Copies of this chain bind each other. A is one copy, B any other.
Amino acid sequence: MNNFEYCVPTRVIFGRDTHKNIGELIAGYGFKKILVQFGGGSVKESGLLDQVEDSLKSHGIEYVLLGGVRPNPGLGLALEGINLCRKENIEFILAVGGGSVIDSAKCMADGVLNPDVDPWDYFMKKAVPDKALPHGNILTLSASGSETSLSCVITKEEEGLKRGFNSPTHRPLFAVLNPELTFTVNKFQTGCGTVDIMMHTLERYLGGPTKDTPLTDRIAEGLLTSVMEAGEKADKNPEDYEARATLMWAGSLSHDGLTGLGRDYLMQVHQLEHELSGLYPDIAHGAGLSALFCSWARYVCKDAPMRFAQLAVRVFNQEMDFENPVYTALKGIDRLEEYFKSLDMPVSLRELNSGITQEDFLLMADKCSSKGEKTLTGIHELGREDMIEIYRMAY
């Protein structure tokens, strides 16, 4: 087990009706003027935005609305938001939406208090934010875990570059998690969310050669087992509160750090997928992940067959083949692929219907490897040629 630091100061407020007290909650922190960030029309249509506005008004909190965040959120809107926050002397940013809205809010929060830094520099690892405007969220989509995580992923539209970075400034002050707000998430987005949640834990679990993390392993395996069950239930019955609750809480735990404590990992499949949805912004992140993951797993599993076998036995209920652990490892990956299919999630790039061609593989591998200058560490270190091969296998 490696040494680690872990601190999740975000106050989680979980359960039915919890969003209705948002005005009181924010007033309790003493904020008087806030910006409310949201995405498209769904929070308007559902009446959620009205409820939020009513609650803010009844607690005397002034607010400015900024909508329009799209999936794979862009730098452009965040820059606009930063200017707006400065102009309006905003004290706090409330994100109402999914991971894209929250990430846009995080990017803004970093930017507002650091006027001398180009916010994109943070994503290019040229600078580190040392302070940020406080921010919190009302979550409407179980997937990214951004509601409690250190992460923030933004796309620079004109270059098709999707990049993320971690920072303690990204931990929200609070996260209001009401599973009922996800009842209206459609089948495809529910599937994407289930995949994304699983990936955040799987990539930690399979991301590196660290040994001796039995407690972290057991927590990860328990989370995966619960999420698969809940994903299936929510797929069949979108208003199953308990299934939605499991997905929502698992979404937070899966990316807050807990399921990788003491382990080395670099999220290789996330890196490969960022190139994909960076180039084709219409590809949903979860769909890109499910299209790539099993090919990646088959490519690397021979380097750590016992690790993949452990997953197969403990999460996918496979019998251990003691004479041939690779066989068990591969069977586990097959079961995972079947699970993705059962949710109608793509398991190949072709199924994404995005117009992706084999020529794109070179471009994406070039970007991901900085033209061959960078490799991705892991149980199998991936260079440019490995990346091309995985994209090809996934096609």
Q: Is the CB of B249 within 8 A of A261?
A: yes
Residue among B4, B218, B241, B253 making CB contact with A225, cutoff 8 Å = B218
How many of chain A's residues touch chain B, expressed as a range? 35 or more
Chain B residues with Cβ under 8 A from A13's Cβ? 5
- Give A1-40 as 1s and 0s: 1 = Cβ < 8 Å from B's Cβ atoms: 1111111111111111010000000000000000000000
Chain B residues with Cβ under 8 A from A5's Cβ? 11-14
- Give A131-145 as 1s and 0s: 1 = Cβ < 8 Å from B's Cβ atoms: 000000000000000
- In chain A between 273 and 288, which residues have their CB closer than 8 angstroms to a CB of chain B? none
Chain B residues with Cβ under 8 A from A222's Cβ? 215, 217-219, 221-222
Chain B residues with Cβ under 8 A from A250's Cβ? 215
Q: How far is the CA of A246 from the CA of B13 in the complex (A)?
A: 29
| Residue A198, interface by CB 8 Å | no
| Residue A214, interface by CB 8 Å | yes
| Residue A242, interface by CB 8 Å | yes
A128 to chain B, nearest CB (A): 17
Q: Is the CB of B215 within 8 A of A246?
A: yes
Given contacts A225-B218, A249-B215, contact A9 B9 (CB under 8 A): yes
Q: Is the CB of B214 within 8 A of A226?
A: yes
Chain B residues with Cβ under 8 A from A2's Cβ? 15
- Give A216-231 as 1s and 0s: 1 = Cβ < 8 Å from B's Cβ atoms: 0111011101110110
Binding site for B on A (CB under 8 A): 1-16, 18, 212, 214-215, 217-219, 221-223, 225-227, 229-230, 241-242, 245-246, 249-250, 253, 261-262
Extra A-B contacts (6), CB below 8 Å, given A245-B262, A249-B262? A2-B15, A3-B15, A4-B12, A14-B261, A215-B230, A218-B222
